[in-house]
A and B are shown apart, each in its own frame.
Chain A
Amino acid sequence: MQVNLATKLLRANRDVAAENRERLRKHGIVAVNLISSPGAGKTTLLERTVEALKDKIPMAVIEGDQYTALDGERIERFGVPVVQINTPGGCHLDAGMIATALDSLDLENLRLLIIENVGNLICPAEFDLGEGFKVGVLSVTEGNDKPKKYPVIFQDAQAAIINKVDLLPYVNFSLEHAVQDLQEINPGLKVIPASATRQDGLEEWFNWLLEQM
Chain B
Amino acid sequence: MHELAIVEDLMNTVVQSAQEHKLQRVKSIKIVVGKKTAALPDSLMFCFEALSPETILAGASLEIEETPGRELYVEYYDAE
Give A contacts to B, CB under 8 Å. 1-13, 90-92, 94, 122-123, 125-127, 151-152
Query: How far is it, in angstroms, between the C-alpha of A7 and the C-alpha of B77 when the chains are bound?
Result: 11
Q: Contact: A4 with B76, CB < 8 Å?
A: yes
Q: Assuming A3-B21, A5-B17, is B76 touching A10 (CB within 8 A)?
A: no
Q: Contact: B74 with A9, CB < 8 Å?
A: yes
Q: Assuming A10-B9, A92-B2, A152-B36, is B23 touching A2 (CB within 8 A)?
A: no
Q: Contact: A9 with B75, CB < 8 Å?
A: no
Decide yes or no whether B45 CB sits under 8 A from chain A.
no
- Find the A residue at minimum CB distance from B80: A1
- Find the B residue at minimum CB distance from A94: B5
- Report how many residues on chain B are interfacial, defined by Cβ distance under 8 Å: 27
Sample 11 A-B pairs with CB under 8 A, ordered by A number.
A1-B78, A2-B78, A3-B78, A4-B75, A5-B13, A5-B74, A5-B75, A7-B74, A9-B73, A10-B72, A123-B1
Q: Contact: A91 with B2, CB < 8 Å?
A: yes
Residues of B within 8 A of A91 (CB): 1-2
Query: How far is it, in angstroms, between the C-alpha of A114 and the C-alpha of B51 when the chains are bound?
Result: 35
Query: How far is it, in angstroms, between the C-alpha of A200 and the C-alpha of B73 when the chains are bound?
Result: 44
Q: Contact: B9 with A2, CB < 8 Å?
A: no
Residues of B within 8 A of A7 (CB): 13, 17, 73-74
Residues of B within 8 A of A9 (CB): 6, 9-10, 13, 31, 72-74
B5, B13, B76: most-surrounded residue (chain A CB, <10 A): B5
Query: How far is it, in angstroms, between the C-alpha of A92 and the C-alpha of B49 when the chains are bound?
Result: 23
Q: Contact: B38 with A152, CB < 8 Å?
A: yes
Q: Mark B50-80, 1 if CB is under 8 A from A, else 0.
A: 0000000000000000000010111111111
